[in-house]
Amino acid sequence: MLVLRLTDATYTDMVAHALDGLPNEACGLIAAIPGTDKIDRVYRCGNAAASSRLYEVDPLDHLKADRDAEGRGLEIVGVYHSHTHTDAYPSPTDVKQAPDPSWHYVLVSLKDPEPVLRSYRIVDGAITEEPVELERR
């Protein structure tokens, strides 16, 4: 079953980064123990596009995150980014540029006073929302 499992810490980190990134979109990568959907680590990355409408994961931040994850026995399994003025739903640009059908695509919307976090799979242009399960530690 498709699901994204977060802890309080990983959930809070993505939402906090979204808020810290204002007025621009914030972005980063998420890593899991291989073969699981449980996100163990959040890597905040720079937004090389430095825009409130677009994001581009800073390529060197991506390389560092990839290496760090590998060193910890984790793998990068998805990306998160914020939408500052729109819903937590993939934009046409998000779908067009989604690089990996096995990834989780997490959106944090700051459109409303309360941030909204949702997760999707994007396969061949088709968007499927997956449940987000929050595990309390």
Partner 1 sequence: MAIEVEVRLPTVLRQHAGGQASVQANGETIGAVFEDLLRQFPLLKGQLLSDDGSIHKFINVYKNDDDVRYLDKLDTPIGADDVISILPAVAGG
Binding residues vs partner 1 (CB under 8 A): 27, 29, 49, 53-57, 59-60, 62-63, 66, 75, 79, 81, 90-94, 97-102
Comparing CB distances to partner 1, the nearer of 29 and 134 is: 29
CA separation for the pair 86, 134 (Å, rounded): 23
Which helix (H) or strand (E) segment holds residue 16: the answer is helix 8-20
Comparing CB distances to partner 1, the nearer of 102 and 113 is: 102
Which helix (H) or strand (E) segment holds residue 98: the answer is none
Residue 62 beta carbon to partner 1: minimum distance, rounded to whole angstroms: 5
Residue 19 beta carbon to partner 1: minimum distance, rounded to whole angstroms: 19
CA separation for the pair 28, 65 (Å, rounded): 9
Residue 39 beta carbon to partner 1: minimum distance, rounded to whole angstroms: 16
Comparing CB distances to partner 1, the nearer of 8 and 96 is: 96
Comparing CB distances to partner 1, the nearer of 60 and 134 is: 60
Signed CA dihedral, 114, 26, 107, 96: sign only: positive
Nearest to 90 by CA among 130, 43, 39: 130
Residue 88 beta carbon to partner 1: minimum distance, rounded to whole angstroms: 13
CA separation for the pair 45, 79 (Å, rounded): 10
